[in-house]
Structure 1
Amino acid sequence: MIFPELIVNSVTWVSSWSSDLQFPVLATASESEYAPVVLTGVLLSLVVIYLASKLGGELSRMMDFPPVLGELVGGVVVGASALHLLVFPESGAIATDSVIMNILQFIGNLSPEAVTSVFQSQSEAISILAELGVIVLLFEIGLESDLRELKKVGYQAAIVACVGVAVPFAVGTVGLMFFFHTPAIPAIFAGAALTATSIGITSKVLSELGHLKSREGQIIVGAAVIDDVLGIIVLAVVASLAKTGEVDILNVIYLIVSATVFLIGSILLGKFFNKTFVTIADKLQTRGKLIIPAFIFAFFMAFIGNAIHLEAILGAFAAGLVLDETDKRKELDQQVIPIADILVPIFFVTVGARVDLGVLNPIVPENQQGLIIAIFLVVVAIIGKVVTGWSVFGQPGINRLAIGVGMIPRGEVGLVFLGIGAASGAIDKPLQAAIIIMVILTTFLAPPFLRLAFNKQSGETEELVEPADLIG
């Protein structure tokens, strides 16, 4: 995920910046003297996030769109693109860009140095809460998924994931080099950004549409998980290439082996862990006797995933799959929902808030080249994932379009590639703008397109059924 890496980068940047400008207060202010102000900023940010989430979700539902789309749009409105209520330093914003920081400065009569420190700490806190939100979301999705059904479509999901990585990567990289004469390493980085799939956004939309447990939904979720693992491996390769000009083979082998062992080991663990978990939950007598052990397991699995340089969300998803096999799964599902309702919106609103639609302004000269490249990347990003639906075989009557569309959104995963590529200096400003536009459009187009794809299938089914009903 992007948040921990960007936090580390931004903390390093602020530390060096404060040292250069001789602002010693930045090193200690947020940890002691200004801690209450930081808390005030976090609380006010949460008020903004929840208002944006709820208003956006309700408006989206009124227009018959998935609520998650409204949460993303709500984030855009309160973020860097419009109101500047929720902005982040890793996106290039400074304290004075934040309306909330200006409010805190007015209320607390803070110095510019203090505001900068508070802004940094407040942004880190919101980013961590957003990261927890997506971990809880993937744990919830794992609980709602059916491991037996996932096993049935496992090989299909693997094929979909491989095609969804290979096609956009190859077409994007070669196309940039051939049509736009982009140097090899920046082209490879942009091609790698096209391989991502945001499992958080897709799975949430599937759940809201009631198709998470359908054959299409299980293939999409399984493929997105595998796609995430493949994406991490691709990212490791291109990051090594950008830094040294050569690929660290040992690191790539390590990632492949650790990812395989982790996922297979998690599934096998379920056979031995389920009875133990139920026994522990039954023996506990205090409040939270089921939900607390469940989250201990989920966070521990997320920790392992992060510790072995995979992703925390993969560990959380695996934990949900394991606990879905227990006799307590229905009760656990109900207890997780309120927690998800509190934390998950933070993730979706912050994803939207980090987006700066200013890169779409063609009047700005430096945006023009990026827009031309962006059109190419968006076309490749959509077609490169849609074709994955036709890689499914042995599944008569399956909605191939829905599978392909479900793999389209890049979301926060695409921003990871962008963040690392920009930090390494491998990609220039126009290409950065093009990747941002690609991430924005694929993230926002996928939810309504996915609904249309499933509605199309429903309409076709009704047309087939009605004549038979009339004959009967």
Structure 2
Amino acid sequence: MDRFKLLPVLLLSPLTVLGSHGDPYASDFLAIFFLLVGAALGAYLARKLNQPPVLGELIIGMVVGAALYQMGDAVAIAIRHNSEIEHVLHAHTADVTWEEAVHIGLEEAHLRPEMEAQLTEVLLQSDYRNIDMHARYTLLFSSMGVILLLFMVGLEIKTTEMVGMGRPAFILAIMGVILPFALGFLVSKLLFADMDTNTAIFIGATLGATSIGITARVFKDANALHLKESKLVLGAAVIDDILGLILLAIVTGLISSGGLDVTNILIILGKAVGFLIAIFLFEKYAIQWVINKFAIIARERTFLFFPISLLFFLAWSADAIGLATIVGAFAAGMVIQEKYFNNIKLDHQSIEDLVSPIEELFAPVFFVMMGFQVDIMSFMNTDVILLGLAMTAVAIIGKVAAGFFTEKGQNKWLIGVGLVPRGEVGLIFASIGKTTGVLDDHLFAVIIMVVILTTLLTPPMLMGIIKKMKA
């Protein structure tokens, strides 16, 4: 590989592998620079168009990723095909040479011929280890973003609040997950009868997610947060997040086990529920004691060090028992409360104030990298467009239908539409599907399409309903 790129590529590429005279991570610093600037630019343009910043970050990633991929940037290609490369790594054993593993692994990946040829060329380069190192460091930066994001979401939800949500919120949340899941699975199998059952299940699970941040912003802008419907939607979204993570744990477990089996489902469900119960018991009986002991060595830094340390430990713990790391990250946020640090923190400090700047640094990179991995050419495929539109319709219908399971006297349309956006939660599901290999480039593009359309359509629909209510 030519390590000295042409100037236009250098200026465009945050991932170009450059020559180095010392620090082997210098080009990764350049990558982070471009990723952060790209995220800031995307968010700025989105705000100018009155759209959520996450949408701008996603689209800027799609544009830059497509440009670099077409230019043949080796690191960009490695990132785009991270799941296919995992097939190659699994095929590489003591009895199988690297060249043989490349051909075996890519044959299993079923890529388009031109993509397979391009990826093969990258994998067989003499400095591929260097390329792989830069790709993995960039993806690590992105992964930090998603677990910090889920940690911040968890901070907004306390275990004690779960019990107080009430029966209407629980019913709404349950139906808001079940209906889109069932419709997504059925439509996937109807449109593509040969689709793998695990893939159809994963698509259904993705549609069960809700990104309440977009809805909450619309309610706030419309001065509608006081409405009983708004409070019900926000309350149900809390439970929806928990149910979505449990569903994700079950689905990823089924994929890794290789089949749909009642025993496997029960085992995975038991792990997910058991993990959350263990976290609840830890918070109730041990967390204060652990924090007090931690403070002996960390002193005044405990207020920052302990929450972040717990975040990483529980993310690892979740993965160790076969759950997604984001389940652990979410749980870490859920059990952390400022009252546990009363004897340590300063009066003006809050956990959100300390952790939020870190999350705001990493999380946008995750969304840029999600866009980066989208194969824009997939949108030229009729099947992708057809399935994307069908899944978007299902995503909307399933959530709106859930709104009709609420009590009489409430605006069921407002409640249902409030649950529609998938936003960052849909992207998190999509990233896991891409990483595990259950979503190929086309299906990954379908989920991105659903995220974009539901994010764009929800605000005007909500504003229209709210205006009618106030008229």
Residue 358 in 1 paired to residue 377 in 2? yes
- TM-score, structure 2 length as denominator? 0.71
Q: CA deviation at 1:446?
A: 3.2
CA displacement 1:80-113 (0-9 Å, x = unmatched) = 3677677252533899xxxxxxxxxxxxxxx983
| Match 2:392 to one of 358, 365, 378 | 378
Q: Percent identity?
A: 23
Q: Which residue does 1:42 correspond to in 2? A: 28
Q: Which residue does 1:443 correspond to in 2? A: 451
Q: Give the SS at the match of 1:113.
A: coil
Aligned positions of 1:12-411 closer than 5 A: 38-80=24-66, 87-89=76-78, 91-92=80-81, 113-153=125-165, 159-160=171-172, 162-178=174-190, 180=191, 182-183=193-194, 186=196, 189-196=199-206, 202=211, 204-205=213-214, 214-237=231-254, 240=257, 243=258, 247-273=260-286, 275-276=288-289, 279-280=292-293, 286=299, 288-324=301-337, 326=339, 328=341, 331-361=350-380, 367-393=381-407, 396=410, 399-407=414-422, 410-411=426-427
Change (3 A) 1:298 1:421: closer
Distance 1:438 1:88 in 2: 20
Distance 1:130 1:341 in 2: 12
Larger deviation, residues 370-379 vs 207-216? 207-216
User: Is the Cα–Cα contact under 8 Å of residues 76 and 354 in structure 1 kept in the other structure?
Assistant: yes
Q: Give the SS at the match of 2:260.
A: coil
Q: Give the SS at the match of 2:45.
A: helix
Give the residue type in structure 1 aligned to 2:65. G
The number of equivalent residue pairs is 397
Distance 1:256 1:188 in 2: 16
Give the residue type in structure 1 aligned to 2:403. G
Q: CA deviation at 1:121?
A: 1.0
Distance 1:203 1:339 in 2: 21
User: Is the Cα–Cα contact under 8 Å of residues 60 and 69 in structure 1 kept in the other structure?
Assistant: yes
Q: CA deviation at 1:455?
A: 3.4
Q: Which runs of 5+ in 2 are unaligned?
A: 1-18, 86-122, 343-348
Q: CA deviation at 1:64?
A: 2.1
Give the residue type in structure 2 aligned to 1:234. V
Change (3 A) 1:283 1:459: farther
Q: What RMSD over aligned residues (CA atoms) do the two structures have, in Å?
A: 3.8
User: Is the Cα–Cα contact under 8 Å of residues 197 and 227 in structure 1 kept in the other structure?
Assistant: no
Change (3 A) 1:276 1:346: same
Distance 1:286 1:342 in 2: 26
Distance 1:422 1:205 in 2: 27
Distance 2:313 2:182 in 1: 36
Larger deviation, residues 273-282 vs 119-128? 273-282
Q: CA deviation at 1:321?
A: 1.5
User: Is the Cα–Cα contact under 8 Å of residues 137 and 344 in structure 1 kept in the other structure?
Assistant: yes
User: Is the Cα–Cα contact under 8 Å of residues 48 and 78 in structure 1 kept in the other structure?
Assistant: no
Change (3 A) 1:166 1:203: closer
Q: CA deviation at 1:239?
A: 5.6
Q: CA deviation at 1:359?
A: 0.7
User: Is the Cα–Cα contact under 8 Å of residues 154 and 219 in structure 1 kept in the other structure?
Assistant: no
Distance 2:215 2:273 in 1: 26
User: Is the Cα–Cα contact under 8 Å of residues 141 and 317 in structure 1 kept in the other structure?
Assistant: yes
